[in-house]
Structure 1
Amino acid sequence: MKSFAGRGDIALQPKKDASMTDAPSAPTDQAAYWNKTGGQAWGDLQDMMDALNRPIEEALVDRAFPGVGKQVLDIGCGAGATTLAMARRLGAEGLSLGVDISAPLIEIASGQAAPGARFVQADAQTYDFGGASFDAAMSRFGVMFFSDFDAAFANIRSGLKPGAELVFACWRSPADNPMAIIPGRAAAPYLPPSPPTDPLAPGRFAFADPERVRGILGRSGWSDVDITRLDAPTPITLDDLVTLSLRMGPVASALREADETTRGKVRDAVTTALEAEAVDGVVPMVAGCWLVTARA
Structure 2
Amino acid sequence: MTASPTAQAYQAAYWNETGGRAWVELQGLMDGLNKSVEDAVVEAAFPGAGKAVVDIGCGAGATTLAMARRLGAGGEALGVDVSQPLLELARGRAEREGLAKARFALGDAQTLDIGEGRFDAAMSRYGVMFFSDFDAAFANIRRSVKAGGKLAFACWRRPADNPLAAVPTQAAAHLLPPLPKPDPSAPGRFAFADPARVRGILERSGWSDIAVDPLDAPTPISLEDLTTLSLRMGPIAAALREADATTAAKVREAVVKSLEPHVEDGIIPMVAGCWLVTARA
Matched, 1:152 2:133: no
CA contact (8 A) 1:95 1:116 kept: yes
Deviation at 1:27, TM superposition (A): 3.5
**Of the candidates 245, 268, 272, which is equivalent to residue 253 of structure 2?**
268
Aligned to 2:86: 105
Give 1:84 deviation, angstroms: 0.4
Partner residue, 1:287: 272
In structure 1, the partner of 2:11 is 30
3-state secondary structure, aligned to 1:170: strand
Q: Distance in 1 between matches of 2:69 and 2:152?
A: 18
Q: TM-score of the superposition, structure 2-length normalised?
A: 0.96
Counterpart of 1:246 (choices 211, 216, 231) is 231
Aligned with 1:96: secondary structure?
A: strand
CA distance in 1, matches of 2:180, 2:146: 43
Distance 1:224 1:31 in 2: 32
* Contact kept in structure 2, 1:91 and 1:115, CA below 8 Å: no
Q: In the TM superposition, what is the alpha-carbon distance from 1:280 to its structure 2 partner?
A: 2.8
TM-score (norm 1): 0.91
| Structure 1 residue 154: Cα displacement | 0.3
Instruction: Specify the alignment match of 1:187 in structure 2.
Output: 172
- Name 1:9's counterpart in structure 2: none
How much does 1:26 deviate?
Answer: 3.5
Deviation track 1:135-183 (CA, whole Å, cap 9, x = no partner) reads: 0000000000000000000000010001111000000011111121001
Question: What's 1:6 paired with?
Answer: none
Question: Displacement, 1:262?
Answer: 1.0
One-letter code aligned to 2:47: P
String of CA shifts for 1:95-114, please: whole Å, max 9, x gaps. 00001100000000000111
1:241-295 Cα distance to aligned partner (Å, 9 max, x none): 0000000011111111111111111100000000111113210000100000011
SS in 1 for 2:93: coil
Structure 2, gaps ≥5 residues long: none
2:47 maps to which of 45, 66, 77: 66
Q: Which position in structure 1 is the counterpart of 2:20?
A: 39
Q: Partners of 2:9 and 2:178 in 1: how far apart?
A: 24
Alignment root-mean-square deviation, CA: 1.4
Q: Are residues 1:94 and 2:75 paired?
A: yes
Q: Distance in 2 between matches of 1:85 and 1:149?
A: 26
Partner SS, residue 212 of structure 1: helix
Greater helix share, structure number: 2
Paired residues of 2:8 and 2:131 also in contact (CA < 8 A):
no
Partner of 1:115: 100
Percent identical: 67
Paired AA for residue 244 in structure 1: L
